[in-house]
Structure 1
Amino acid sequence: MADRVYPSSKPAANGATAAAAGGGANPSFPANKAQLYNATRPVYRPQPSRRRHKRGCCCCCFLWTTFIVITVVILAAIAGVIFYFLYRPEQPNFAVNSLHLSQFNVSSTTLTSKLNISVSARNPNKKLTYFYDPITISTFSGDIPVGTGSFPAFEHGTKNTTTLKTTISTSKQTLDAGDISKLKSKKTLPLTLKLETKVKVKVGGLKTKKVGIRVTCDGIHVNVPGGKSPSKATTSNVDCKVDLRIKIWKWTL
């Protein structure tokens, strides 16, 4: 009787046999939850940071702005140097020729005064012409105002000296007791003149914008007149200083 051979294990299923035949490349079916989750999960790709992008834009704008400002400053400096060597600009000069105090009455509360003054303005430039607006002139003894007046507008030509004459006065100006006491106690008055106006400059066919100018003249001394004859001031040591009054927004320099 022939011997029968019994297999040692059950035959593998068709799917397992196919998987074995394929070398294990494909997963068994049905797939487990982990395999399904990994198959449908999107691939993560890092996005560029918006903060870094904004920082880069800010830095770039700052660098370009700084470069433009520096370039403008350098060009302005070069233009200024060229202008200076071509035209050699000098500021105008002012001097007090004479001052006569013809009236000076101080009461218990008020002041009445009258001064006749002559001022010369000199333009030392060969190629620059000045155009002055009307000039206001004020007189002070210390910090006490003792009179006001004005000069008319005028054109100041090249290498020219112009003489300006006017009357400075005040009528029954009210002062406090301290100022009245100071004025009554003095026989010789120290005076300061302040001239303020605006001026523009003509260079060839070009004219600049108007710029404020202030002239301050110190060192004037005059005797208080005792009678009807006016007193002549001493003006030999008068020093007149010219300052530009440049206004930037709300500030005046």
Structure 2
Amino acid sequence: MQQQDPNARPATGYPYPYPPQQPANGYPPNAATAYPYQNHNPHYAPQPSPRAVLLRRLFTAFTVFLLILGLILFIFFIVVRPQLPTVYLNSLSVSNFTVSDNRLAGNWDLRLQFQNPNSKMSLHYDGVSCALYYDRASLSETRLQPFDLGTKDQTPVNATLSVSGTYVDGRLVDSIGKERGEKGSVEFDLRVVSLVTFRYGVYRRRRYVTVFCDDVAVGVGGNSSSGNMVGSAKRCKP
């Protein structure tokens, strides 16, 4: 029987076959990336719904429409330059003016001057009304007939406001008496409201225009029942 050499060395070239290591979780290594998802169409993206596309197109069209409309209006106002008409109170007189026992009576005759400052737009006045006030208390109101104003045109309009025994507060009676005694005049306020149509070719625009002629002094002394406006013509303010 042959004995083994205790000093013998292991043979080289044939390493000891160690068994493969098993992962602790029991799954093969790189199991999550062993078979990755492959996108065969890298340019693919989810398509929006037809409703979303329609809404987006409608919004774009509406935005473009507003921009075009705004540009047209801007050019129109630059070219035409519409301006509000001006009104002057040329004269104001009162007759049969009496204040007694909290009753007020009188006839006011006035003359207004309407002017159109526009060089490209004509004006049509409809529904013109004049109202007379004293210290914010309404005394009388009248309505004027319609009329037209051409470009850069002007026209005078006469009106009469009457008060026949209208009851007024005692405070107003005292105030009128004080003015007549101290100044020899009484200050009245006038309001003019007009429905004006601006016309330029086929363009039409209607709007209300209101002007005020405030603190118009009429010379009527304590013993007088008639008087005229103190001073020259006065421009009414919007």
TM-score above 0.5, yes or no: yes
Corresponding position of 2:208? 212
Corresponding position of 2:89? 96
**Equivalent pair of 2:86/2:114 in contact (CA under 8 Å):** yes
Between the aligned partners of 2:164 and 2:95, the Cα distance in structure 1 is 13
Deviation string, structure 1 residues 146-200 (Cα, Å, up to 9, x no partner): 3322321111111111100111111111122222222222212222110112111
Between the aligned partners of 1:190 and 1:225, the Cα distance in structure 2 is 12
Higher relative contact order, chain-length normalized (CA < 8 Å, sep 6+): 2
2:194 to 188, 193, 197: 197
**Equivalent pair of 2:117/2:152 in contact (CA under 8 Å):** yes
Between the aligned partners of 2:167 and 2:55, the Cα distance in structure 1 is 58
**Equivalent pair of 2:122/2:198 in contact (CA under 8 Å):** yes
| Alignment CA distance shift 1:108-1:157 (3 Å) | same
Letter in 2 for 1:190: E
Corresponding position of 2:147? 154
| Alignment CA distance shift 1:232-1:216 (3 Å) | same
More helix by share: 1
Corresponding position of 2:132? 139
Farther-moved stretch of structure 1 (227-236 vs 162-171): 227-236
Between the aligned partners of 1:65 and 1:205, the Cα distance in structure 2 is 30
Between the aligned partners of 2:56 and 2:198, the Cα distance in structure 1 is 37
| Alignment CA distance shift 1:212-1:72 (3 Å) | farther
Give 5+ residue unaligned stretches, structure 2: 1-48
- How far the C-alpha of 1:62 sits from its partner, in A, is 9.6
Between the aligned partners of 1:71 and 1:241, the Cα distance in structure 2 is 40
Name the TM-score, length of structure 2 as normaliser.
0.67
Letter in 2 for 1:240: C
Q: Percent identity?
A: 22
Give 5+ residue unaligned stretches, structure 1: 1-55, 243-253
| Alignment CA distance shift 1:122-1:237 (3 Å) | closer
Corresponding position of 1:186? 179
Letter in 2 for 1:114: N
Name the TM-score, length of structure 1 as normaliser.
0.63
Between the aligned partners of 1:240 and 1:158, the Cα distance in structure 2 is 20
**Equivalent pair of 2:131/2:138 in contact (CA under 8 Å):** yes
- How far the C-alpha of 1:94 sits from its partner, in A, is 0.7
Between the aligned partners of 1:136 and 1:86, the Cα distance in structure 2 is 32
**Equivalent pair of 1:138/1:193 in contact (CA under 8 Å):** yes
Corresponding position of 2:4? none
Which structure 2 residues correspond to residues 52-67 of structure 1 after superposition, within 5 A? none
Letter in 2 for 1:196: V
Between the aligned partners of 1:191 and 1:61, the Cα distance in structure 2 is 63
Corresponding position of 2:108? 115
> What is the CA RMSD across the aligned residues, in angstroms?
2.9
| Alignment CA distance shift 1:237-1:155 (3 Å) | closer
- How far the C-alpha of 1:120 sits from its partner, in A, is 0.2
